[in-house]
Chains A and B, each alone.
Chain A
Amino acid sequence: MDLSTREKNIWIELLASIFVAVYYFSHAYAVGGFSDIANAVLGKVIFNAIVLSIVSSIILTIIFSPKKHETKDERDILIDAKATSLAYHVLIILCVLIIGHIMFNEGLGYFEFYRVQTTTVASLMHFILIALMVSGAVKSISQIFFYRRGY
Chain B
Amino acid sequence: MAKKKIQNNIRKLRFLNNEMTQAELAKLLDVTRQTVLAIEAAKYSPSLELAFKIADVFEKPIEDVFQYV
Q: A: which residues have CB within 8 A of B?
A: 2, 4-7, 70-71, 73-76, 147, 149-151
Instruction: Give B38 Cβ to nearest chain A Cβ, in Å.
Output: 5
A70 touches B43 (CB 8 A): no
A76 touches B32 (CB 8 A): yes
Which label, helix, strand, loop or mixed, suits the secondary structure of the B interface? loop
Instruction: Give A82 Cβ to nearest chain B Cβ, in Å.
Output: 12
Alpha-carbon gap, A120 to B44, bound state (A): 48
A151 touches B31 (CB 8 A): no
B44 touches A151 (CB 8 A): yes
Alpha-carbon gap, A4 to B46, bound state (A): 18
B35 nearest in chain A by CB position? A75
Partner of B32, one of A73, A150, A151: A73
B31 touches A150 (CB 8 A): no
- Residue among B32, B46, B47, B50 having the largest count of chain A Cβ atoms under 10 Å: B32
B32 touches A70 (CB 8 A): yes
Could you tell me which residues of chain B, from 42 to 63, have a CB within 8 Å of some CB in chain A? 43-44, 46-47, 50
Partner of A73, one of B31, B41, B43: B31
Question: Chain A contacts of B11 at CB under 8 A?
Answer: none
Question: Chain A contacts of B43 at CB under 8 A?
Answer: 149-151
B47 nearest in chain A by CB position? A74
Question: Chain A contacts of B34 at CB under 8 A?
Answer: 2, 4, 7, 75, 147
A74 touches B32 (CB 8 A): no
Alpha-carbon gap, A126 to B47, bound state (A): 42
A3 nearest in chain B by CB position? B34
B44 touches A73 (CB 8 A): no
A75 touches B33 (CB 8 A): no
Alpha-carbon gap, A2 to B37, bound state (A): 11
